[in-house]
Structure 1
Amino acid sequence: MTDWTGVRERVLALAEGPGSGRVFGSTGHGFALDAPLTAAEVADLEAWLGVELPGDYRSFLLRVGAGGAGPAYGVFPVRRVDPCGWRWIGDAPEEAEPGMAAELFPGGADPEAAVEILAGQPYMGDFDDLADFEAACEEWEERLADVQYDPRFTAGALCLCDEGCGLTAWLVVTGSERGRIWRDPRSDGNDLHPARDASGALLDFAGWYLGWLTAAESACGSEP
């Protein structure tokens, strides 16, 4: 179990530091945190998802907060939104759906899935009329997005963070990658891949979050 003792207080203290504005994304989350969830709420969330959350994220929800300040623009807060169930509040590419989170995480997209569509990208030189070219581009982009953002590629994972410019971070909750953070650069035309720290080690939720906190304290000139 991750020891989250004092972490909530450390995060909230950064809001008062003179260097808080030097932390990327801090203008968005302001180093604020939602209140922690109760044990009953976490149990209800897991029942709604149909899967047990990785231990470090589960204990984060219980000890630190349901979301808020964190890497990049923060950790999406998870809240009960009746009658829809639980929702992660933020600019996620798709919402977690009951059942999908419990499916086996496939480890990213099929690298060949978009090859045919990419080969058919429209080029302006092939069109006599600009309006026809723009319409073809719009239709092509829609077909590409349907392939790139097929929800099956992120089954078994939860989108937890907006990293800016369409990039996101996901927490895998099923399969061999359970507990790992995966980065999602599909908006740049690349595939999902595991997140790593500066040494190249794979990151779980605790390592991802606490690594951010240590770097944020350093940027602010704050001592933990």
Structure 2
Amino acid sequence: MEAAEREAGWAGVREEVLALREAPFATRVFGAPKGFGHEFLLEAPLGEAEVAAAEAEFGVRLPSDYRAFLLDVGAGGAGPDYGLFPLRRDEQGWHWSDDHVRGDSALIGRDFLSVEERTRLEKEHDAREPVAADFPDDESYRAAFQAWDDEWERLEPEVTAGAVCLSHEGCGYYTWLVVTGPERGTLWFDGRAADLSLQPLTGDAGRLGFREWYLTWLDRATREAHGR
């Protein structure tokens, strides 16, 4: 079923995804192979009460298309890249399950920074980088540099405040869904592992929302899994 033929909701999408497990070339789809990929598996959908509880804990209302996905398709699993990090609850509360430490749940309700604000934050930190010539010896310079580097470790979560890390592309690259502010509902590529800035994902109609992003992946994965 092509994306243009689907109704506005998510009816039938869970079944489409799960059916790809039996496709002849399923393992050729990036991020799907057994053992380290999503294997076209989906977690069970969440209930309305569960999603509402997570939203109350984070202090946000999730974008409607992603919220409906959690209710109708699954809490996580098969999807773009190596799949969607599942939204789960444990003794520490609600969180997106991830093998990597990405983001701070306490910051999800904060406003997502604009490009200008994010650039200013990074430039102000860069401007404070210690210069070796300003120190009497290597030891004092290294101590100052370490303190400056540690400061960025504390500031870095601010860059993605107001967003949820949804998937891992490999090599330290991630995709984030913005849940607060003017950019709410848009997806952003995180290439900071390669010293790239956070960039919005775009399509033919402009910045991508979750629904278009996911269904575009599903159409491509379906073609590849069937050798088309």
TM-score bracket, normalised by the shorter chain, equals 0.7 to 0.9
Letter in 2 for 1:87: H
Structure 2 CA distance for partners of 1:187 and 1:37, relative to 1, 3 Å: same
Q: Which residue of 1 aligns with 2:114?
A: 107
TM-score (norm 2): 0.81
Q: Does 213-222 or 184-193 show the bigger shift?
A: 213-222
Three-state SS of the structure 1 residue aligned to 2:220 is: helix
Residue 196 of structure 2 is aligned to residue 175 of structure 1: no
SS at 2:167 equivalent: strand
1:49 equivalent in alignment to 2:58:
yes
TM-score normalised to the size of structure 1?
Answer: 0.82
Does the aligned pair in 1 maintain the 2:129–2:148 contact within 8 Å? no
- Quickly say closer, same or farther: Cα 1:222–1:155, change in 2 above 3 A: same
Asked if 1:23 corresponds to 2:29, the answer is: yes
Note if contact 1:87-1:96 (Cα within 8 Å) is conserved in structure 2. Answer: no
Compared with structure 1, are the counterparts of its residues 47 and 159 closer, same or farther at alpha carbon in structure 2 (3 Å cutoff)?
A: same
Compare the two structures and name the one with the higher helix fraction: 2
Q: Which amino acid aligns with 1:107?
A: S
Distance 1:49 1:64, change over 3 A: same
Q: Per the alignment, in what secondary structure is the counterpart of residue 176 of structure 2? A: strand
3-state secondary structure, aligned to 1:62: helix
Q: Which amino acid is 2:47 matched to?
A: T
Instruction: Using the TM superposition, name which of 71-80 and 89-98 deviates more.
Output: 89-98
Pairwise CA RMSD: 2.7
**In structure 1, what residue type is equivalent to 2:60?**
V
Is contact 1:159–1:171 with CA below 8 Å preserved after alignment?
yes
Structure 2: distance between partners of 1:118 and 1:219:
47
- For these two proteins, the number of residue pairs brought into alignment is 207
The 3 A distance-change label for structure 1 pair 143 and 214 is same
Quote the offset at 1:165 in angstroms. Answer: 0.3
Contact 1:162–1:168, Cα closer than 8 Å, also in 2: yes
Matched, 1:74 2:80: no
Relative distance call for 1:19 and 1:49 in structure 2 (3 A) is same
Q: Does 1:207 align with 2:212?
A: yes
Matched, 1:94 2:105: no
Residue 164 of structure 2 is matched in structure 1 by 158
Give the aligned partner of residue 146 of structure 1.
153
SS state at 2:123 partner:
coil
Task: List alignment gaps of at least 5 residues for structure 2.
Answer: 1-6, 133-137
Secondary structure of the corresponding residue to residue 105 of structure 2 = coil
204-213 vs 85-94, greater mean Cα deviation: 85-94
Distance 2:130 2:60 in 1: 39
Change (3 A) 1:217 1:144: farther
- CA shift for structure 1 position 141: 10
2:214 alignment partner, SS class? helix
- Partner residue in 2 for 1:35: 44
Uncovered stretches (5+) of structure 1, i.e. residues with no partner: 122-126
